[in-house]
Amino acid sequence: MAPPTKTLVDQLRSGDTRALARAITIVENRAPGSSELLKALFPHSGKASIIGLTGAPGAGKSTLVDQLAKLYRKQNHTIGIIAVDPTSPYTGGAILGDRIRMQDHFSDPGIYIRSMATRGSLGGLARATADVATVLDASGRDRVMIETVGVGQDEVDIVRLADVTIVILVPGMGDDVQTIKAGIMEIADIFVINKSDREGAERVEREIRALQTLALRHDGWTPPIIKTIASDGHGIAELAAAIASFEDYLKKEGLAQKRSVENWQERLVEMLRDTLLDTARRRLGDGQLAKLAAEVAAHQRDPYTLIEELAERPDR
Ligand SMILES: Nc1nc2c(ncn2[C@@H]2O[C@H](COP(=O)(O)OP(=O)(O)OP(=O)(O)O)[C@@H](O)[C@H]2O)c(=O)[nH]1
Ligand SMILES: [Mg+2]
C-alpha cells in the first residue's frame, strides 16, 4: 500500500472525520488512488448494518433517518448517512427546516452525513453509493443509512444492496401503492406508512396487505407495516424494533450470508462490465471508434461481426 493511502486509512480508522470526508470524495469521484483506497478499506468493512430507505419525494425520508439517527445515538451507535440525490438535501438550502434540524447533529462526530448528486448514469451512481457505504463501514460506523428517492428501478438498485430495506409510503397519494408495486414491493423488508397523522393511513395499510397476500417472499419473512409520524417521532421506536427483529431473523435463519452472496453476485457482474467496457474504450480510442462507426454507417462493415471481434480482441 502506498504511503498516502496507508496514512489516510489509518486516520480514517482512528475516527478522523476529515480523513473520512476526504476518502469519500476520492471514492465518489473515482479520483486517482480510489481503487487502491477501496482495496485497503475493504478488509475493514462488512461490520456495519446498512439500512436503505426509499420512498417518493417528500415522503419524509430525511425526517425518518434523522429520528432513527437520534435514537441510535442514544444507544451509542455511530452513524453514517448517505442521501442520494435528495430534493430536500441535508446539506443544501432547499428546505430550511431540514437544514436547521440536521444542524443538531453537525456538532456530533458520531453522525456523518454525505449527500450524493445524480451525475452520469444511475448505474454508476449505484456503484458509487455502494463504494461510499464501504468507506463508511470501514471507518467503523455501526450503522449506515442510505436515503434514496424510490421512483425508478435504478434507485431501487441502490437500496437493494442494503441489509435492511425500508419502503416509505404516505397516505393520500392516490394509487401510490399500485404505481410503485412493480419494483418496490419485492424489495421491502419493512414498510413504513409515514405521515400517519393524515387521512388514509389505514387504506394504505390495507392495500399493502392485499398485495402481500399475492406475493409471498421466498425467505418466509412477512414485511411488517409500521405507521409513523416522523415529524414528531411517533412510531420511531417501533421502526427501530422492526429493523432489529429483521436483522435477528436474517441471522437466525442464516439468511444474511445468502443475501450478501446474492448481492455480491450482482455487484461483481456490474463491476466486471464497467471494467471491461472501460478497458475496451480506452484501447479503442475515440479516433478509432469514429473510424469504425463511419465504416459501419457506410455499410462497409457489419456491426455484429465488428463487435464480436472487438469483444475478443479489444485492441484491434
Ligand atoms: N404531517 C407530517 N409531515 C411530515 C411527517 N414527516 C415529515 N413531514 C414533513 O414532510 C416534509 C418532507 O420531509 P422530508 O423528510 O424532507 O422528506 P424526504 O422524503 O426526505 O424528501 P426528499 O428528500 O425531498 O425526497 C417536511 O416538511 C417534513 O417536516 C409526518 O409524519 N407528518
Ligand atoms: Mg430527503
pLDDT under 50: residue ranges of the chain: 88-101, 120-123
Element holding 145 (H helix, E strand): strand 143-149
Atom of ligand 1 nearest to the CA of 195: 31
Q: Is the C-beta atom of 230 inside 6 A of ligand 1?
A: yes
SS3 229: strand
Ligand 1 atom index nearest CA of 194:
31
pLDDT tens-place string over residues 241-257: 999 999 999 998 888 88
Residue 125: the pLDDT is 75
How far apart CA 93 and CA 100 sit, in angstroms, is 10
88 lines ligand 1 (CB under 6 A): yes
- Which cell numbers hold the place of 275? 471494467
**Residue 97 confidence (pLDDT):** 41
CB of residue 149 inside a 6 A radius of ligand 1: yes
Which atom of ligand 1 is found nearest the CA of 63?
Answer: 15
Mention every residue, 6+ apart, whose C-beta is less than 8 A from residue 176: 56, 169, 170, 204
| CA-closest residue to ligand 1 atom 32 | 195
Q: What is the pLDDT of residue 104?
A: 56
Closest ligand 1 atom to 59 CA: 19
pTM of the model: 0.87
pLDDT, residue 36, reads 95
Rounded Cα distance between 145 and 133, Å, is: 9
Of 86, 144, 90, 143, the closest CA to residue 118 belongs to 86
Instruction: Give the closest residue (by CA) to ligand 1 atom 7.
Output: 60
Rounded CA gap, 83 and 69, in Å? Answer: 13
Only one residue has cell 456495519, namely 48
**Which residue's CA lies nearest to atom 1 of ligand 1?**
195
Quick one: pLDDT at residue 99? 43
Residue 87 beta carbon below 6 angstroms from any ligand 1 atom: yes
Could you read off the pLDDT of 188-242 as tens digits, one per residue? 899 999 999 999 999 999 988 888 887 778 888 999 999 999 999 999 999 999 9
- Model pLDDT, residue 85: 65
Residue 176: per-residue pLDDT: 56
Which pLDDT score, from 0 to 100, does residue 30 have?
A: 83
Choosing from 62, 113, 159, 239 the residue with most ligand 1 atoms within 8 A of its CB, the one to mutate for a pocket test is: 62
DSSP assignment string, 196-218: TTSTTHHHHHHHHHHHHHHS--T
Give the number of the ligand closest to the Cα of residue 95: 1
**How far, in Å, from the CA of 61 to the mean position of ligand 1?**
7
